[in-house]
Chain A
Amino acid sequence: EAGVAQSPRYKIIEKRQSVAFWCNPISGHATLYWYQQILGQGPKLLIQFQNNGVVDDSQLPKDRFSAERLKGVDSTLKIQPAKLEDSAVYLCASSKRGQTMNTEAFFGQGTRLTVV
């Protein structure tokens, strides 16, 4: 079974530029998560999708971050404009959610973003 695929693997941009990350979850997984992991910290949830609907985006800085999952499969996360403090690893994860409880989330390798 293929895992969660993310691209690009690395990205370096200047502040105020835009950037987009792509995620392809495990086939059949209805729940998709985007996390931000700053060096030395645990992953912080940015947004959670259930199929193509947003379940939670309370931690997403909506003035500069946006995400979509139009067909309920692939997802993109965009930052526009980027700030220095956005430098982090952006992790995508997916899980097969049951009707009454969740199951473990599987993670991609992440995209390391450096804003200079």
Chain B
Amino acid sequence: GESVGLHLPTLSVQEGDNSIINCAYSNSASDYFIWYKQESGKGPQFIIDIRSNMDKRQGQRVTVLLNKTVKHLSLQIAATQPGDSAVYFCAENNGEDSSYKLIFGSGTRLLVRP
């Protein structure tokens, strides 16, 4: 498969360490946020979501933190594994005008060193 993000910011971590990927979103009216994982040659895959009435949500090995004050979102991956290597995108959903457009950020490439 081909590479998804040749010029994206890259985070390199050692296998077993924790990873933190950050995202700044643009619209203060956005009320729903999603983290997606995209592997080479594949479409984005849902990881975890969070609504604006929460500031933290945990899944299996992943945690999303939302700071609405500074419009910042982060994805924490515990005990990072080689299979976590991919490009990660945050997406915001603005329901202000009821259109619920899903807008993606620019992405971060995660490389896991064995």
Contacts and interface: CB of A to CB of B under 8 A. Distances in A.
Nearest to B47: A104
Contact of A56 (B7, B89, B99, B107): B99
Interface stretch (B36-44, B57-65, B68-76, B78-86): B36-44
Interface string A27-48: 0000101010101111111001
B11 to A, nearest CB: 16
Contacts of A4: 43
A43 B99 contact: no
A93 B5 CA distance: 20
A91 B41 CA distance: 11
Interface residues of B, number: 32
Majority secondary structure of chain B interface residues (helix, strand, loop or mixed): loop
A87 to B, nearest CB: 12
A41 B4 CA distance: 8
Contacts of A44: 104
Interface string A103-115: 0111111101000
Given A40-B7, A40-B8, A101-B31, A56 B101 contact: yes
A9 B7 CA distance: 24
A109 B43 contact: yes
Interface of B: 2-8, 31-32, 34, 36, 41-46, 49, 51, 89, 91, 93, 95, 99-107
11 contacts: A35-B104, A41-B107, A43-B104, A45-B101, A45-B104, A48-B99, A101-B51, A104-B49, A109-B41, A109-B42, A112-B2
